[in-house]
Structure 1
Amino acid sequence: MEYDDVCVLVPTLNESETIGPVVESFAAEGFDDILVIDGGSTDGTQSIAEEKGARVVQQRGSKGKGQALQEGFERTDAPVVLMLDGDQTYRAEDAAAMLEPIFEGRADHVIGDRFADMEEGAMTRLNEFGNGVINRAFSIIHGRDYQDILSGYRALTRESISRISLTEDYFGVETEMAVECVKHNVRTEVVPIRYLARPDDSETNLRPFRDGADIILTLYKMAKTNNPLFYFGSVGTVSLVVGLVLGTYVAVEWITANTSHEVIAFLGGLAIIFGVQLLMFGVLSDMIVTVNREQTRQLEDLTERLTADDARARARVDGSESANAAESANGADGATGDRPQESPAGQEASAPERRG
């Protein structure tokens, strides 16, 4: 692959201070296909991007980053998509490192790790703490340590894009993308990048508390299909613990003060039953998901083998046809070469004999 096979996808919203240098830097690195999906900027972002040579598309539907990425994936048929934010925090010089695992066939999804080399002031302490909590929760819930699942600098192959399903409209899209790659066993690699501080004149669209809550909710919701034991088991465990606490309180009160709490006892019993049922449902769901993953993996392996066998069979047929064609051509040449030819003199000598 070459850079001509790569589409640089940049979602924007009021990034007039930074979009120009972003497009210029990637163009200077040799990228010709730069697609900007703009969410309705009012500060001239679209015109600046067009002047610098980018292809600009007005985002339809909701004005969130997730929806912009989904539309961007639909708007390009490039074999590889390199996505990044338009706030000048990601460097075009790191594009080669981001694309190397895909070009060499090691991965279909690459995440740029911002924490490997972060410029001072690039992230507030609150955001850094929130990123750490979310990354830790992701590794516990989904069993993979991607180091920086909220990174906006990613590279994906067309095949991986077709395998994942994105529904998040806002900043939860990076989390959803990481979970989908785990769920569908997309080969993922993490590479270190340099993360720069946002220019002073540029304002961020990120709202830490609201967007952080949205990301955590996305992380938990997606555990329903990827790790149902955690999804149902966590609620079931809480309910079971609450029921046991209430039951213990009622028992102690009845033993020590001979006081009965029928309502509390009833609620505690319901909580215990509900918790046990959720735990059982979580275990059964986890078994179903495990079996489904194994069957999916076997089907994928079978498909790969059948595809390889079909390719080998076609190669043998093509080879046989080429060999038969060569033999036919050689036979025709041989037949022509072995046929005796009469010389003109011989023809003249035999003419009187025929007349006589």
Structure 2
Amino acid sequence: MKLIVNIPVYNEEKSLGETIRVIRKSFSDDFYTQGEGKIITEKLIQIVDDGSTDRSAEVARQEGVDLIISYKPNRRLAYSFKRAVESSLENDADFMVNIDADLQFNPYDIPKLLSPILKGKADMVIANRFGEKKAKNIPWLRENLNKFAANIIGFFLNYKTNDLTCGFRAHNRETLLRFNLTNVHFTYTQETIIDAIGKNLKLFWVPIDVTYFDNREAKITKSIYKFISNSTKIILKAVRDVRPMKFFGIPGLFIIFLSLISFAIFLYNYLPELNVTRYRNYLLFGIASFLIGLQFVVFALVADMVKSSRQLTEELMYQWKKDKYSKK
């Protein structure tokens, strides 16, 4: 079986060489020679150079990286991940591990991510920076925003989620074939988790050690406002597509419930006096909120039908990709 370790790269010439060497050295770990990883007979390193303006691609070539994808201009992390998935499938990967280029994550932890997949417990394993091994020096705001988003998504999807934005993760071939990335302008981390849950793939989170370097620059966005804004859009769109009945239905039923309360208050005050004028605001609010809530319920039903159509299309895409990327 074949493992491809993918490294997304954007101006990483200073750390990339060492990262490649550590990953290659980690392949001699007991996990691969004596443990569960013995079935992985071929291990390749792949980099996706996302429009770097430094010598990142040259460093990769000097280090003898097996697969190098390079393009210009910079097209952001989601597009980079999409290219990584396509290349991994084209090169007959059974597993793809994604890891950063700056040694923020320890390549010797790759077996921790692969183990649940090899045991059949998971299709996709994500490193958890907020578990028992809490990340060092992680910004407080980023940590708590991540936890908040995980709780919201967990509620809508009825699935226990943890770290949503960690890029250190492992996938089996089935997961790679199932992915259909629609957003390629920002990041892929939240969307792929929601998409995988919606397709009934098994997800697993593994606590790992990770260090946030003091001088580390965010590659996705340097503005926390843009990060929140873009992430919110991605999460809302993904949840809308995966759980439309909940996404539209819950707000709709809540608004209808408010309208019923308003009607009840109106009737309670109107019936003894039979005077509409004094209490018409309750009546008007009840009518307006009932109609708005009803619209949301209709949206939920229509969106659910669209979801069924989309699932059929995605199944056709899956079969097409299975044929296209059938192993040689």
TM-score by length of structure 2 reads: 0.74
Q: Is the 8 A contact 1:230 1:282 kept in 2?
A: yes
Determine the C-alpha separation between the residues in 2 that align with 1:19 and 1:252.
72
Determine the C-alpha separation between the residues in 2 that align with 1:9 and 1:72.
7
Higher RCO (C-alpha 8 Å, min separation 6):
2
2:82 corresponding residue in structure 1 = 70
Secondary structure in structure 1 of the residue aligned to 2:103? coil
Structure 1 residue 243, shift from structure 2 partner: 6.0
Determine the C-alpha separation between the residues in 2 that align with 1:86 and 1:234.
42
Structure 1 residue 114, shift from structure 2 partner: 1.5
Structure 1 residue 249, shift from structure 2 partner: 10
Q: Answer yes or no: is 1:147 the counterpart of 2:162.
A: yes
2:321 corresponding residue in structure 1 = none
Q: Answer yes or no: is 1:275 the counterpart of 2:286.
A: no
1:23 corresponding residue in structure 2 = 20
Q: Is the 8 A contact 1:38 1:46 kept in 2?
A: yes
The letter of the residue matching 2:291 is I
Determine the C-alpha separation between the residues in 2 that align with 1:247 and 1:124.
48
2:218 corresponding residue in structure 1 = 204
Determine the C-alpha separation between the residues in 2 that align with 1:114 and 1:61.
31
Secondary structure in structure 1 of the residue aligned to 2:129? strand
Secondary structure in structure 2 of the residue aligned to 1:155? strand
The letter of the residue matching 2:48 is I
- What's the CA shift string for 1:273-309, capped at 9, x where partnerless? 121232355368669979x99xx99xxxxxxxxxxxx
Within 5 Å, give how 1:46-125 maps onto structure 2.
46-54=57-65, 55-59=67-71, 63-76=75-88, 77=91, 78-116=93-131, 117-121=133-137, 123-125=138-140
Structure 1 residue 232, shift from structure 2 partner: 0.8
Residues 249 and 56 (structure 1), Cα distance of their counterparts in 2 relative to 1, 3 Å cut: farther
Structure 1 residue 202, shift from structure 2 partner: 3.8
The letter of the residue matching 2:110 is A
Determine the C-alpha separation between the residues in 1 that align with 2:57 and 2:303.
47
1:9 corresponding residue in structure 2 = 6
Q: Report the aligned-residue RMSD.
A: 3.6
Residues 250 and 63 (structure 1), Cα distance of their counterparts in 2 relative to 1, 3 Å cut: farther
Q: Is the 8 A contact 2:51 2:74 kept in 1?
A: no
Structure 1 residue 214, shift from structure 2 partner: 1.7
Q: Bigger radius of gyration, 1 or 2? A: 1
The letter of the residue matching 2:231 is I
Within 5 Å, give how 1:230-241 maps onto structure 2.
230-237=246-253, 239-240=255-256
Q: Is the 8 A contact 2:151 2:161 kept in 1?
A: no
Within 5 Å, give how 1:236-247 maps onto structure 2.
236-237=252-253, 239-240=255-256
Within 5 Å, give how 1:282-293 maps onto structure 2.
282=300
The letter of the residue matching 2:140 is R
Q: Can you give the 5+ residue segments of structure 2 that lack an aligned partner in the other structure?
A: 28-41, 316-328
Structure 1 residue 12, shift from structure 2 partner: 1.7
Q: Identity over the aligned pairs, expressed in percent?
A: 21
Residues 39 and 27 (structure 1), Cα distance of their counterparts in 2 relative to 1, 3 Å cut: same
1:213 corresponding residue in structure 2 = 229
Secondary structure in structure 2 of the residue aligned to 1:118? coil
- Alignment partner for residue 188 of structure 1, among 200, 203, 226? 203
TM-score by length of structure 1 reads: 0.69
Q: Is the 8 A contact 1:62 1:169 kept in 2?
A: no
Q: Is the 8 A contact 1:17 1:202 kept in 2?
A: no
Determine the C-alpha separation between the residues in 2 that align with 1:253 and 1:15.
70
Q: Is the 8 A contact 1:18 1:202 kept in 2?
A: no
List structure 1 runs of 4+ shifted beyond 3 angstroms.
Answer: 59-62, 237-262, 264-268, 283-290
1:334 corresponding residue in structure 2 = none
Q: Is the 8 A contact 1:109 1:186 kept in 2?
A: yes
